Chain A
Amino acid sequence: MSAAAWICLLLPLASAVAITLAGTAISRRVAGYVSTLTTMGAFVAAVVAFADMWSKAPVERTATTTSWTWLAAGQYHFGLSLLADPLSLVMMLIVSGVGSLIVAYSVGYMDGEDEERRFFAYMSLFVFSMLLLVEGGNLLLLLAGWGMVGLSSYLLIGYYQERASAIAAAKKAFVMNAFGDATMALALFLLIQHTGALDYLDVFRNAPHHGTVANLIALGLLGGAVAKSAQIPLHTWLPDAMEGPTPVSALIHAATMVTAGVYLIARCHPLFENAWAIQDLAAGLGAATLVMAGLIALVQTDIKRVIAYSTMSQIGYMFVGVGIGAYPNAMFHLMTHAFFKALLFLAAGIAIHALTGEQDIRKLAGVGKLMPFTKIVFLIGSLALVGIFPFAGFFSKDSIIAACLAHGTYGAILWVACIVGAFLTGVYAFRLYFIVFTGEPTPFAREHFHKHHGKEGPVSMLWTVGTLGALSVIGGWLQFSPLWHPFTTWLDPVAAPFTVPSNGQEWLSSAFAIVLGLAGIGVAYLLYSARTVPVPKPVTLLEKKFYWDELYDLLWYRTGDAVARGLYSIVELPLIGGAITAVTGLTGASSRELSIAQNGLVRTYALALAGGVAVLALVFLAAR
């Protein structure tokens, strides 16, 4: 099992290195195939590891292998070790499985780009980093993977490097993630100070069980999770990250990397359970994000940004899940979300690809008539997103909502937020569907639509989207909490929930969620398809995305700018500038005075020489 885990981790790294070193020796297409095959190889290795683990008793399913001591500082030793347990294996399967589908899709999507090799090298690097994050056997390796996924995300958002907005978005994502990395590093320092180790088991056993330190550790980890998963208040980078190519949005900013925060909390749940206030805070932030992102998604006009806000909203659900201690429910939603959100992005990508890169839904409107296959898979993805039976989102999202009911008064508040979110999901998801995929195509869509050899897109794009569509339909059936729950059982040894909803709560929540989701779809139908009700004017508050960007601009940029200007006029000009002016002025004045002596008369100089020699002679004589 450990060998399979190592192969799974190292294959994508080998691919990234090989594509980089091969350079122009391989064609662009070959680079794509290398990347695809290695990611698939990683998936196969993950499946082998899974099969091996399946055959063992639940208590023996955790295996740590240390290859060598990676870092030794005094009494602290950190091994380069891999941890294979049910939780990390679920993540390995998602990352390599969904990842290989998306990389295969990219072969068609990126065809003809100038720098495809760079793209695929980055993609492989990302898959490696993400696998390192989930497989790392101690928190230090997790942090290393955490930073490296941030780096690959930065590189891929800024892939279109000639586009200024892409570079700005990449920098924004990097800086906001660096903030999270920093708080996480601080939490790790506290853990080293108080437990002397970073291995998961030692940390969980020895970490302080209550008090300020426990709270600070959980808060630091939560900071990292919030930044990576784009939750309030560090969420503003995610919509901008849509500047990257669409497969990148699907892989990094929907299916895997942004859900790393959920994984982190599920992985470190003993630390969060030591600090219940922080865990409640996580749930609260998730609830706030899911409602806010749902509201903003109602008025966005860029197809990818709408999906990005829906990603934020869905991760909000997962945060609510891990925040109230329903870890398997959140991880299950993470998995189904990876299927249907990747599906939505990739289906949107087919439309964008067929319409020469256009992303504005007003111009894309009605394109569904030209692309029946894309229309169907997008509909499947939207239904799964809204959580309509029997699609994947129904099983996973509703079990999170149900778990809220089992969490007391605070849970009841979260439950209301989740139900409101379900309604909003229905409205914005089907607003997108009705505008883009129903009705008559716009003149723009008719003019720019081009088929790819008689199909809607390259084969590599169609079969991957089809696979994800199938997974979005059947993926949820893996677990239907009231009746069967193999997923929860599987995760039980490492992430046992402390909030388990009763069957009654499950049925009640599902009923509410479905009715409100359908109501949302109905509203979207009336507004955007039947158009019997006029579309209300968009609220400025929503169009401005609740003014978060403006707030940060005011808080950091303008404040920093004002401080810098103040220091310039108070400190730099009078003190530093004044000192320099004084030195130069003094030198200038004294040299002007001295230059009078240089009058050009030879005899003056001769006299000076003679006088000088005379003085020297006197001095020497006197000093004898």
Chain B
Amino acid sequence: MHGPDIQWYMILSAILFTTGALGVMLRRNPLIILLSVEIMLNSANLLLIAFSRLHGREDGQVFAISVMAVAASEVVVGLGLIVAMGRRNVELDVDKLRTLRG
């Protein structure tokens, strides 16, 4: 098997996931939060493909493709919402969008 060992993929995936999680938790702009979520999803994809290659089976790749499909749909909805908010001149700050608070 060529290329780096599985550990490196895992470390990279962990770094990407942490970055994404921190982005979701720390940033206020919904656009950035959406980006961070995508980063988290892709870190998971990376790991799936890495293990798929390690075991020589294609299940993980299939999963990665479905995750991409889900991510794409999610982005469509999320971006649509954000664009709609922008058109209505709503301030793009998640801390201000608290009307659904219990």
Contacts and interface: CB of A to CB of B under 8 A. Distances in A.
Interface of A: 595, 598-603, 606-607, 610
B16 to A, nearest CB: 15
Contact of A600 (B24, B25, B26, B98): B98
A595 B100 CA distance: 12
A601 B21 contact: no
Contact of B98 (A595, A599, A606, A610): A599
Interface in B44-102: 94-95, 97-102
Interface string B1-37: 0000000000000000000010011100000010000
Contacts of A599: 98, 101
B102 A601 contact: no
A598 B101 contact: yes
B21 to A, nearest CB: 6
Given A601-B95, A603-B94, A606-B21, 13 more contacts: A599-B98, A599-B101, A600-B97, A600-B98, A600-B99, A600-B101, A601-B94, A601-B98, A602-B94, A603-B26, A603-B95, A606-B24, A610-B21
Contacts of A601: 94-95, 98
Interface residues of B, number: 13
A204 to B, nearest CB: 81
Contacts of A602: 33, 94, 97
The 9 closest A-B pairs by CB, nearest first: A600-B101, A600-B98, A598-B102, A602-B94, A603-B25, A606-B24, A595-B102, A606-B25, A607-B25
Contacts of A607: 25
Contacts of A610: 21, 25
Contacts of A598: 101-102
A599 B26 CA distance: 16
A84 B5 CA distance: 110
Interface of B: 21, 24-26, 33, 94-95, 97-102
B43 to A, nearest CB: 14
A598 B26 CA distance: 18
Given A606-B24, A607-B25, A610-B25, A600 B33 contact: no
A606 to B, nearest CB: 5
Contacts of B25: 603, 606-607, 610
Chain A interface, DSSP helix/strand/loop, else mixed: helix
A46 B99 CA distance: 89
20 contacts: A595-B102, A598-B101, A598-B102, A599-B98, A599-B101, A600-B97, A600-B98, A600-B99, A600-B100, A600-B101, A601-B94, A601-B95, A602-B33, A602-B94, A602-B97, A603-B25, A603-B26, A603-B94, A606-B25, A610-B25
Contacts of B95: 601, 603
A603 B95 CA distance: 8
Contacts of B102: 595, 598, 600
Contacts of A595: 102
A606 B26 CA distance: 10
A606 B94 CA distance: 12
Nearest to B98: A600
B98 A603 contact: no
Contacts of B98: 599-601
Nearest to A596: B102
Contacts of B24: 603, 606
A169 B21 CA distance: 81
A618 to B, nearest CB: 16
A610 B37 CA distance: 13
Nearest to A604: B25
A125 B94 CA distance: 81
Q: Of residues B26, B94, B102, which shows the largest number of chain A Cβ atoms within 10 Å of its Cβ?
A: B102
Contacts of A600: 97-102
Nearest to B21: A610
A603 B24 CA distance: 7
A412 B98 CA distance: 99
A610 B20 CA distance: 12
Contacts of B101: 598-600
A350 B98 CA distance: 86
Nearest to A601: B95
Nearest to B25: A603
A607 B26 CA distance: 10
Contacts of A603: 24-26, 94-95
A587 to B, nearest CB: 15
Contacts of B99: 600
A602 B101 CA distance: 10
Nearest to A599: B101
Nearest to A598: B102
Contacts of B21: 606, 610
Contacts of B94: 601-603
Contacts of B100: 600
Which of B26, B95, B97, B99 has the most chain A CB atoms closer than 10 A to its own CB? Answer: B95
